[in-house]
Amino acid sequence: MSLSYRIESELKSGERIPLGTLGHLVVFSWSLAMVLYSTPENMLWIAGLCILVLLILYPGAWCSVINFRRFILLLLIAVPPVFFLGDVDSIFLGIPYSAIGSISSLHISLRFVVVLIAVEGLTSAVEISALAYILERFGLKGLGFSMGVAVNLLPSLQKSCTQSWLALRMRGGLRKNWWKGLMLFSLTTITCAIKRAEEIALAAESRAFSPDKTSPLPVKSSPIDWAVIILVCISILLII
């Protein structure tokens, strides 16, 4: 299964427009900026444009974006404003809802989809190490390495949090002595995270990694990057 996935992703990367790291970053920042600054009046076409551009650049990104878990997450984020934001002044099929809230909800949903496709596209096209080296170039010595570690730590910390919570729940959760329970939960979670960090530090040190000795690698670039940057600047100026 993993082999077929690999072949599939290789095929997808082969079909892609050959952008450099800078180009991918510019497209990612552009899509984020566009949806952040969109107003309720223009959000539909801006989000549509972003999705279209992202799907042209990353044809396979939508496959991994659409799944049941993310749909539930979208519902959790987008549904509450329909009922709780602003005055409940409209009725649809006998269900009262807020008109302002529903617009906000639509805005959030579109932003959710755009951000997801943009993140998926960027992470599938650019390696974390490349992002780290770009950060290093801005004078933040070691931040690139730390960011790489942070991104890799996200799933394991999430797992550690869940396991700590389940263990606490089996012992009564936060029903009695909730403050003590909360402290124990925090202590366990952070301890697990620090222990994991110890392992990562050991692995890095055993490979002779030293932040002082690292030199920034050349960033992968492509002639199309400049065309993309010009187009992005024009589109942002038009929106402003």
Partner 1 sequence: MKFSTRNLVTLAVFGTLWGISEITLGTLLKTLDIPLSGLLLSIIGLTIALIGRIFVPMKGSTIFIGAIAMLLKLFSLGGVVLGPMLGIFGEAIIAEILLSLTGKPRLGSLILAGGLSTLWVLAQPFVTNPILYGRSVLIVWEKVINNGGKLLGLGTNVAFWIMGILALIHLASGAVVGILSWTLGGALQKRVGISAEG
Tell me how far apart the alpha carbons of residues 196 and 149 are, in angstroms, rounded to a whole number.
Answer: 11
The kind and range of the H/E element at 235 are helix 223-239
Least distance in angstroms from the C-beta of 67 to partner 1: 14
Cα separation, 220 vs 126, in Å, equals 10
Closer residue to partner 1, CB minimum distance, 169 or 195: 195
Residue 26 C-beta: closest distance to partner 1, Å: 15
Residues 6 or more apart from 164 whose CB is under 8 A from it? 185, 188, 189, 192
**Residue 188 or 222 with smaller CB distance to partner 1:** 188
Cα–Cα distance, 213 to 117 (Å, whole number): 36
Q: Which residue has the tokens 């409209």?
A: 90
Which of residues 103 and 153 has its CB atom nearest to partner 1 in the complex? 153
Nearest to partner 1 of 16, 196 (CB atom): 196
Residue with tokens 């301890």: 191
Site residues, partner 1 (CB under 8 A): 32, 36, 73-74, 76-78, 80-81, 84-85, 108-109, 111-112, 115-116, 119, 140-143, 145-147, 149-151, 153-154, 157-158, 161, 183, 186-187, 189-191, 193-198, 200-201, 204-205, 209-212
